[in-house]
Amino acid sequence: MRYYKIIENGYLVGIGTGVGGIKITEEEYNSLLEHIHNRPDAEEGYGYRLKEDLTWELYELPIVPEEEISSDELMTMIEEVL
């Protein structure tokens, strides 16, 4: 299996398996996954970005409007697709 990481603007934004990204070893993948799973808890309204040097950077989360839809609307959309 091929393992990779994706770095954008000095931040590690994700890791994965498959093609693409920067190829890494399974050991590095597992190490990064463990590091990601040990992300510190942020207080409400704040999140963390993982810098390329694997230090966590606290930042204020952007406001994202709720985009919930009703179950009836979802069923209508599914029926239209099917």
Partner 1 sequence: MANEYSVNQADLTSVANAIREKTKGSNPLAFPDGFAEAIASIGGLPGNITHLATGTYTFAGDTVDNTAITHDLGVQPHFFMFVKQGSFSANSSKKRMIFQFYVSKSIGNYAGSLIKGYFSSTSGTTTGAVIETGNTTGFKKPDTSVFYVSGRSSNDTTYISGDTFTWICGRCSSF
What is the pattern of x (binds partner 1, CB under 8 A) and - over residues 17-56?
A: xxxxx----------xx--xx-x-xx-xx-xxxx------
Question: What is the rounded CA–CA span in Å between residue 56 and residue 12?
Answer: 10
Q: Helices (DSSP H) in the chain: which residue ranges?
A: 26-37, 71-81
Q: How far is the CB of 28 from partner 1 (least distance, A)?
A: 13
Cα dihedral across residues 60, 45, 34, 13: positive or negative: negative
Three-class SS of residue 19? Answer: coil
Contact between 72 and partner 1 (CB under 8 A)?
no
Q: Binding-site residue total for partner 1 (CB under 8 A)?
A: 40
Residues forming contacts to partner 1 in the complex (CB under 8 A) are 6, 8, 11-21, 32-33, 36-37, 39, 41-42, 44-45, 47-50, 60-64, 67-69, 74, 77-78, 80-82
